[in-house]
Structure 1
Amino acid sequence: MFAVEMSVCPVLASVPRESRLRALRVAACTSSSKRLETVESDEPPAKCPRLTDSPTDTGFLPSPGSPQPSSPRGTNCHPQGPLCTGNFLLMPIRDRQLVYRALNLLTGAEVQCKVFPLKHYQKKIETYMQLPWHRNITGIVEVIQGDSNAYVFFEKDYGDMHSYVRSCKRLGEEEAARLFRQITGAVSHCHQSSIVLGDLKLRKFVFADKERTQLRLESLEDAHIMKENNDSLSDKHGCPAYVSPEILNTTGAYSGRSADVWSLGVMLYTLLVGRYPFHDSDPSALFSKIRRGQYCIPDHVSPKARCLIRSLLRKEPSERLTAEEILLHPWFEAASNPGCADQDLSSNDQLVPDVPQNSDNIDSFFC
């Protein structure tokens, strides 16, 4: 049996879509390129710790499959079992409240549905409506209004980057470059459209195909729409592993774009290394490391990848590359053409070694 919301009124959302932005050209990186850090001496000599299980009160979000805290009574705006609205059968997704797999009963097509209280849903989808279409950002397919809820339908996905990196431990540079280019392209498109993402992390990027070659930014509900291109934010919400030093250090406003770029640096490091650049089971110690910019890069990471990581994970926000500038970094071309990689590395150094079987469990540290 499944629940049926009464008096459901279908309304198609006319989501304006503009033509794609012209692809950014990948240019060669020279020693004078803007804020590209290539000096090796700024890397702390301390050994990089492996991720370990954290206490439940450390502020880290649980890994996929971990028990989720129950919502306060009265906050759920819909039944937890299957339900039917319009032409769609909605089936709950485990560990994802207010999100359903949606099957079109007329066409058999599968999409994803997010349920919002009717009085709040327009604010929730405002960012989607403003943002021009981009191939690496999920778009709204349809909106159906019920008596008390709004059902917003999105394109289907095939798993998220969070789970993928957990299963792979870390990625080779060629694959990491291909996926990170798509991630950065989505963020750059948002920034150019006066949107700051805020709580940016791997989990928010999902695969658009079964082959796991095409990524999309899945969630814009936490994004901020800038006014008159002013990206100043004071919001402190976010995953501890991705938070930037200025958010921890300042009591006032900070640059939302620069904070997003820091999060991109954390994501790139995690793709290539298989663990977060900043980690400690004690939250205060973790935040202290982030404030100091204390991290290390393993030897297997190529010089150009090191250069890019250091150009993003810089304590001073103004010294970081912009999202648009990241796309011009030579690492993307070098990683896509291993034969043209840095000459000071041997062929063995180009291989990413397997994670030792006795390495600490990293599951609970991925947001």
Structure 2
Amino acid sequence: MRTRVAIIGAGPAGLLLSQLLHDRGIDAVLLEARDREYCEGRQRAGMLEQATVDVLREAGAADRLDREGLVHHGIHLRFAGRDRHIDFPSRTGGRSVTVYGQTEIVKDLVAKRIAEGARMYFDAPVTAIEGIDGAAPRVRFLRDGVEEVLECDLVAGCDGFHGVSRGAIPADVLKTHERAHPFAWLGILADVAPSTDDLIYAYSERGFALHSMRSRAVSRLYLQVDPDADLADWPDERIWAELRERLALPGWRLDEGPIRERSITPMRSFVAEPMSFGRLFLAGDAAHIVPPTGAKGLNLAMADVRVLARACAEYFLAGSRAGLDGYSDACLRRVWRAEQFSSWMTTLLHARADASGFDRRCQEAELAYVADSSAAMDSLAENYVGYTWAD
């Protein structure tokens, strides 16, 4: 089998790259280790920067997003009995964010790629990536239990943190940076209309809470828990009681409903650099992980592949390697900005059991500063809606 670009991973990054390359007339084959049902069922992020919405529209994959997505014009910062609404458009030149689940983006892109006859193989785990330091890379994969070889010009590793792509970069070349945060999130999907217009980020000495949503009828809520927490210790009533306590505000009520899904996610930061080696290019979670507090993970992945698609077009259609050679540096500038912002938001809003009284009072002072300072709110808004977009 032969193609120009071998794409490993059918998450949003790999699917969007496949679509953007197709739109530019560049042949690609997409390989995914899991089945289609699994890929379309994974519950992940759902907060889209304006630039992410724009690139999905560019790819012709935003019809349902435009109908069903929930545009948000800010967030509520809630602490110490206060609620400060930070308005994004007035502080960012009119930009906002949109709630639309990653699961729905994957469904939309899969349907579009299939309708357009894409060579896309599910249940096709990659076993080896070879020759990326030469002119003729090869990707070995299994299909129906039989090994096949995909010859290509470039390889795009969009297969997530646990995928095989990052490991293909020589150990003496790859440098990784990692931080394990002392928090985890217990997240639920509940069949109840949201109790808020915009997202609520709440700090209390009991821990952080977030009121988000997936649609006008489905709420997405999170609680800070210990990284070793067990779901068995969190029955429905305890979850709702803790959410009521942490989100409490005089005159406001949290509506409750049946919980359809729940999970616990540890929080970590991770960056691999460089994001390319030879003819292999990493994108999305294969190259970087951010704690979810800043709503950056999905948006970073979509930004990566937009840069990569443009670089591939320059290479195949104009004969220039400039975009490919500059890909890693261009993406990492944006990645590190997002890592810093996400870590700051996490530190600002989470309660540490080992914090001293001095540390807690400093944290409360910083929260008050963010809520009272126009400059601080401008900075938070600018970073939240997307501070940079690498070209």
> Counting strand residues as a fraction of each chain, which structure ranks higher?
2
Q: Is the TM-score greater than 0.5?
A: no
Q: TM-score range by the shorter chain?
A: under 0.3
Output the TM-score relative to the length of structure 1: 0.26
> Counting helix residues as a fraction of each chain, which structure ranks higher?
2
Structure with higher RCO (Cα < 8 A, 6+ apart): 1
